[in-house]
A and B are shown apart, each in its own frame.
Chain A
């Protein structure tokens, strides 16, 4: 499990989570926006995520709520097939905005 962090703009954070997104990743993922109060928009690239468990889902929701609180949004970009299945089975796809690519996500973010 690994994570890359980039900041396409001062207010936008892009996280690329590779491998398992589970309890072991939670602190690292959350600290990426908790340590940056200036971040409003969060894009989570799950294209290389092989599995997401309930703690990973809870972390996405924490990010979603925090982004909204700051006046921004959280977008999930290009989830891998396994992750898509989990998001569907848990009906999380009704709560999260899922877009096909990071570029698409960033284009939506600039509209905020």
Chain B
């Protein structure tokens, strides 16, 4: 090859490059023309595929694509969305394998032989919409096969403009999640107030009985409650209940169960009858909601010292006589488990200085270095010579606090204690 031939070849190559550069500049100008209004006018929050349509149109124009599509994965309550230009140009079903491959392999996927609505094979360039650290969906552009291949410029344009759309989705996600968090916090606050409202402000003051109770709410709202009522027969009935679960549903279920137990006891029903009635009352609702509740009810005649206790699925009731602790375990499964179930009651007669302790699993399930605290742990925390019910409650709760070592309470902790005294007016609750 002579020097002049070589020079001519170089000049020809330069002309080719100049022409290519002209094409690219023109394309870039077109893309920019489309992009500028999009940047100025795109809504601050893209909440659906409809909000991303301007981006898709811009990309299609910039890369001179015949078909475009947006896919958004389901997010919170929003179902998956699929949108194409022209409308219904490609069925989601035929595109799904390519979307799956895109999700697994990389930020970019090239798909071939994808039939359009009329069966014409098309080829596609797809990229992921990455919002934050999650793949929110995909944007793609398509051409009829054989027309031309997508080049590096098309790839760059598609990816850059998709990044811009993704940033809008990030804004949306953050705004949605902030609104959701605020709503949740508000609901939790209400749930906490509801639950607090049903805890008695003071215990009964009855000659011969010394009653004390405490309820420590969990950091996240739980479903514990306690209560007491004087029955027409003169018996003092008290109880601890625990609805499984947390949050607003548990708080609401605790309120309704608390009310139902109070009302039934006021009708002079025994503890066992009351638990049977509320079980039937709530069975369907609990089945529907997939929840259950446990409860221990105790009725005491302060004149005779007669005790009746019934327990549906609750932690054992502890009964102490002459320094020896006994356990009254549940004789029926929790409320909402079986229809027409009435627990078998347990009876005793109080002697002076006998003690009864009811507690919720928020105490027995405290994690300790050697496993759960359990009933044995609670019993070990009780010193000999307890002189009143309040002292007993405080002693156990202090031991629980020590075990937690400053950690937040994960489940409500409720405790009810009764001490029988032969001295009238012995209550200091």
Chain A residues engaging chain B, CB cutoff 8 angstroms = 23, 30, 51, 53-55, 57-59, 61-62, 65, 88-92, 94-95
Q: Is B337's beta carbon under 8 Å from chain A?
A: yes
Q: Is B246's beta carbon under 8 Å from chain A?
A: yes
Residue pair B333, A94 in contact (C-beta under 8 Å): yes
**Nearest Cβ on chain A to B318's Cβ, whole angstroms:** 13
Partner of A89, one of B245, B290, B315, B338: B315
Residue pair A89, B330 in contact (C-beta under 8 Å): yes
Residue pair A53, B365 in contact (C-beta under 8 Å): yes
Closest B residue to A69 using CB positions: B287
Separation of A91 and B336 alpha carbons in the complex (Å): 13
Residue pair A91, B331 in contact (C-beta under 8 Å): yes
Partner of B337, one of A51, A55, A92: A92
**Nearest Cβ on chain B to A62's Cβ, whole angstroms:** 4
Separation of A88 and B332 alpha carbons in the complex (Å): 10
Contact with A along B290-325 (1 / 0, CB 8 A): 111010000000000000000011111000000000
Ordered by A's residue number, 26 sampled pairs between the chains whose C-beta atoms are within 8 Å are A23-B246, A53-B361, A54-B244, A54-B245, A54-B292, A54-B334, A55-B245, A57-B244, A57-B313, A58-B244, A58-B291, A61-B290, A61-B334, A89-B316, A89-B329, A90-B314, A90-B333, A91-B329, A91-B331, A91-B333, A91-B334, A91-B343, A92-B313, A92-B333, A92-B337, A95-B338
For B313, what are the chain A residues with a Cβ–Cβ distance below 8 Å?
A: 57, 90-92
Given contacts A53-B365, A65-B287, contact A94 B245 (CB under 8 A): no
Q: Is B372's beta carbon under 8 Å from chain A?
A: yes
Partner of B294, one of A62, A65, A90, A94: A90
Separation of A61 and B337 alpha carbons in the complex (Å): 7
Contact with A along B351-382 (1 / 0, CB 8 A): 00000000001000100000010000000000
Q: Is B214's beta carbon under 8 Å from chain A?
A: no
Closest B residue to A59 using CB positions: B290
Separation of A57 and B335 alpha carbons in the complex (Å): 12
Closest A residue to B245 using CB positions: A55
Interface centre among A53, A54, A95, by most chain B C-beta atoms within 10 angstroms, is: A54
Interface centre among A30, A55, A61, A91, by most chain B C-beta atoms within 10 angstroms, is: A91
For B292, what are the chain A residues with a Cβ–Cβ distance below 8 Å?
A: 54, 57-58, 61
Given contacts A54-B244, A58-B244, A89-B329, contact A95 B337 (CB under 8 A): yes
Partner of B312, one of A54, A57, A62, A91: A91
Chain B residues engaging chain A, CB cutoff 8 angstroms = 242, 244-246, 287, 290-292, 294, 312-316, 329-334, 336-338, 343, 361, 365, 372
Separation of A58 and B331 alpha carbons in the complex (Å): 18
Separation of A88 and B313 alpha carbons in the complex (Å): 9
The 9 closest A-B pairs by CB, nearest first: A54-B244, A91-B330, A62-B290, A95-B333, A90-B313, A58-B244, A91-B333, A58-B292, A95-B337
For A95, what are the chain B residues with a Cβ–Cβ distance below 8 Å?
A: 333, 337-338
**Nearest Cβ on chain B to A8's Cβ, whole angstroms:** 26
For A55, what are the chain B residues with a Cβ–Cβ distance below 8 Å?
A: 244-245
Separation of A95 and B365 alpha carbons in the complex (Å): 23
For B361, what are the chain A residues with a Cβ–Cβ distance below 8 Å?
A: 53-54
Residue pair A51, B372 in contact (C-beta under 8 Å): yes
Residue pair B332, A58 in contact (C-beta under 8 Å): no
Separation of A53 and B291 alpha carbons in the complex (Å): 13
For B338, what are the chain A residues with a Cβ–Cβ distance below 8 Å?
A: 94-95
Separation of A98 and B375 alpha carbons in the complex (Å): 24
Separation of A89 and B316 alpha carbons in the complex (Å): 7
**Nearest Cβ on chain A to B426's Cβ, whole angstroms:** 32
Separation of A58 and B244 alpha carbons in the complex (Å): 7
**Nearest Cβ on chain B to A96's Cβ, whole angstroms:** 8
For A23, what are the chain B residues with a Cβ–Cβ distance below 8 Å?
A: 245-246
Interface centre among A23, A88, A89, A94, by most chain B C-beta atoms within 10 angstroms, is: A89
For B244, what are the chain A residues with a Cβ–Cβ distance below 8 Å?
A: 53-55, 57-58
Closest A residue to B313 using CB positions: A90
Separation of A89 and B376 alpha carbons in the complex (Å): 13
For B372, what are the chain A residues with a Cβ–Cβ distance below 8 Å?
A: 51
Residue pair A58, B333 in contact (C-beta under 8 Å): no
Separation of A30 and B245 alpha carbons in the complex (Å): 15
Closest A residue to B336 using CB positions: A61
For A53, what are the chain B residues with a Cβ–Cβ distance below 8 Å?
A: 244, 361, 365
For A90, what are the chain B residues with a Cβ–Cβ distance below 8 Å?
A: 294, 313-314, 330, 333-334
**Nearest Cβ on chain B to A75's Cβ, whole angstroms:** 16
For A88, what are the chain B residues with a Cβ–Cβ distance below 8 Å?
A: 329
For A59, what are the chain B residues with a Cβ–Cβ distance below 8 Å?
A: 290
Residue pair B245, A92 in contact (C-beta under 8 Å): no
Closest B residue to A30 using CB positions: B290
Interface centre among B242, B313, B316, B337, by most chain A C-beta atoms within 10 angstroms, is: B337
**Nearest Cβ on chain A to B134's Cβ, whole angstroms:** 19
Separation of A55 and B287 alpha carbons in the complex (Å): 14
Separation of A55 and B333 alpha carbons in the complex (Å): 14
For B242, what are the chain A residues with a Cβ–Cβ distance below 8 Å?
A: 54
Apart from A53-B365, A59-B290, list 9 A-B contacts with CB within 8 A: A30-B290, A51-B372, A53-B244, A54-B245, A54-B334, A58-B245, A91-B331, A92-B334, A94-B333
